[in-house]
Amino acid sequence: MMRLPTFELHQPTSLSEALALGAASNGLVRFVAGGTDLWPNMKRRHESADVVVSLRRVAELSGVRGEAGGEIRIGAMTLLSDVAENPIIRTAYSALARAADSISSPAIRNMGTLGGNLCLDTRCTYYNQNEEWRKSIDFCLKEEGSVCWVAPNSPRCWAISASDTAPVLCALDARVRLLSQGGEREIKLADLYRDDGIDYLTKQPGEVLTEIVLPPSDGVEMSFWKLRRRGSIDFAVLSVGIALRRDYAGRVEAVRIYLGAIASAPIEAKDAAVELIGRELTEEVISNAARAARKPATPLDNTDFTLQWRSKMVVSYVEAALREIAGLPLTGLPPKHQM
């Protein structure tokens, strides 16, 4: 049985108290939300902490605020199950509800939070193993080792961003609010991420992610698709989040396509967007855009399935997501991996 290491736990009931505790200690301080990522990581000795500040009792960090048709604010501590079931989110941001509903199992969705999902640690076959296994290969760059076992000549870590809500929220142009004792800032969610498997967030250690801000969704069409081995529990090996707007004549005016689980950050498929802008969503246009989406997708051999097949699936899944938005029949997907 894996046990947690020794640390000091605080359970404040207000945000100001949580921030003060986060800033007070000289040792390594971590915030914990649902703990579905942090606790297993600490048990496997991936992550350590001298002090853990739980945000679970800070009521002001939970809930969905706003009216349908306007800006919506989701507290970072809102449970994934509440995000998936919220009537405004289900209607106006259906792709986000679908992404939240696809995460793991009901038990994890009833513990895990949206903020925790956005700050989730990056993952890799050579890293998400127990300590003995990792020790047997002399660890790797993400820990105390000196080699990346995925790309031995590489000076960086390529562990993948595994958050399912991140690609869809980036596509929706969501913003996040970060608060510390030094002040508050609001940034684009896409700017929270860095394509580096070790230093994957631009969030500072004492900052708490407080809110996710969604722009009004009027006229925005969206989709989320996820590829994984089993229909539940498994992490994505590819996820696709798309948000687009069409003009009165059915031509694409604006579109953002983000790919998850193929790099250390959600990656925008900008060339695919160029293929869509100013055009109607015909079969040919969609097919060209899907092929262009493969360009920024360079999966490595550090998760389930072969990288060649995952790379091919980028085309199939972007095509499927766009065909769904266009109301066209879905074709070309391995049946058991549809969602």
Ligand X SMILES: Cc1cc2nc3c(=O)[nH]c(=O)nc-3n(C[C@H](O)[C@H](O)[C@H](O)COP(=O)(O)OP(=O)(O)OC[C@H]3O[C@@H](n4cnc5c(N)ncnc54)[C@H](O)[C@@H]3O)c2cc1C
Q: Give 36 or 303: the residue with its C-beta nearer to ligand X.
A: 36
Considering the rule CB under 6 A, would residue 261 count as an interface residue with ligand SF4? no
Which residues on neighbouring strands pair with residue 214, listed in sequence order? 72
**Minimum distance of ligand SF4 from residue 120's CB (angstroms):** 14
Considering the rule CB under 6 A, would residue 261 count as an interface residue with ligand X? no
Per CB under 6 A, which of residues 162..221 are in contact with ligand SF4? 197
* 12 binds, options ligand X, ligand SF4, none, Cβ within 5 to 8 A by partner type: none
Of 9, 233, 274, 277, the residue at the interface with ligand X (CB under 6 A) is 233
Taking CB atoms within 8 Å and a gap of at least 24, the contacts of 38-47 are 38/116, 39/4, 40/2, 41/121, 42/4, 42/5, 42/7, 43/2, 43/3, 43/4, 44/2, 44/128, 44/129, 44/130, 44/131, 45/5, 45/131, 46/121, 46/127, 46/128, 46/143, 47/121
DSSP structure class, residue 245: E
The answer to whether the beta carbons of residues 70 and 28 sit under 8 Å apart is no
Considering the rule CB under 6 A, would residue 164 count as an interface residue with ligand X? yes
Sheet containing strand 51-54, edge to edge, reads: 8-10, 51-54, 29-32
* 274 binds, options ligand X, ligand SF4, none, Cβ within 5 to 8 A by partner type: none
Q: Give 24 or 233: the residue with its C-beta nearer to ligand X.
A: 233
How far is 29 from 7, CA to CA, in rounded Å?
Answer: 10
* 315 binds, options ligand SF4, ligand X, none, Cβ within 5 to 8 A by partner type: none
The answer to whether the beta carbons of residues 321 and 333 sit under 8 Å apart is no
Q: Give 31 or 127: the residue with its C-beta nearer to ligand SF4.
A: 127
Element (H, E) at 170: helix 165-171
Cα distances (angstroms) measured from residue 181 to each of 22, 60, 178, 184, 208 = 9, 17, 10, 8, 10
Considering the rule CB under 6 A, would residue 115 count as an interface residue with ligand X? yes
With CB under 6 A as the rule, give the number of residues binding ligand SF4.
14
* 302 binds, options ligand SF4, ligand X, none, Cβ within 5 to 8 A by partner type: ligand SF4
* 305 binds, options ligand SF4, ligand X, none, Cβ within 5 to 8 A by partner type: none
C-alpha closest to that of 187 among 162, 208, 164, 212 = 212
**Half-sphere exposure for 73 (CA within 13 Å, toward CB):** 12
> φ and ψ at 114, to 5 degrees?
-65, -45
> Which residue's Cβ has the minimum distance to ligand X?
116
Per CB under 6 A, which of residues 147..166 are in contact with ligand SF4? 148-150, 157-159
**Minimum distance of ligand SF4 from residue 314's CB (angstroms):** 19
Per CB under 6 A, which of residues 283..302 are in contact with ligand SF4? 302
Angle between helices 307-326 and 283-293 (to 10 degrees): 150
Per CB under 6 A, which of residues 33..62 are in contact with ligand X? 33-38, 40, 55
**Minimum distance of ligand X from residue 21's CB (angstroms):** 13
Q: Give 258 or 292: the residue with its C-beta nearer to ligand X.
A: 258
Where does this chain touch ligand X (CB under 6 A) — which range of 128-136, 232-240, 267-275, 290-298? 232-240
Which residues on neighbouring strands pair with residue 185, listed in sequence order? 178
Q: Which residues bind ligand X (CB under 6 A)?
A: 30-38, 40, 55, 76, 80, 103-104, 108, 111-113, 115-117, 119-120, 162-164, 208-209, 233, 235-236
Q: Which residues bind ligand SF4 (CB under 6 A)?
A: 124, 126-127, 140-142, 148-150, 157-159, 197, 302
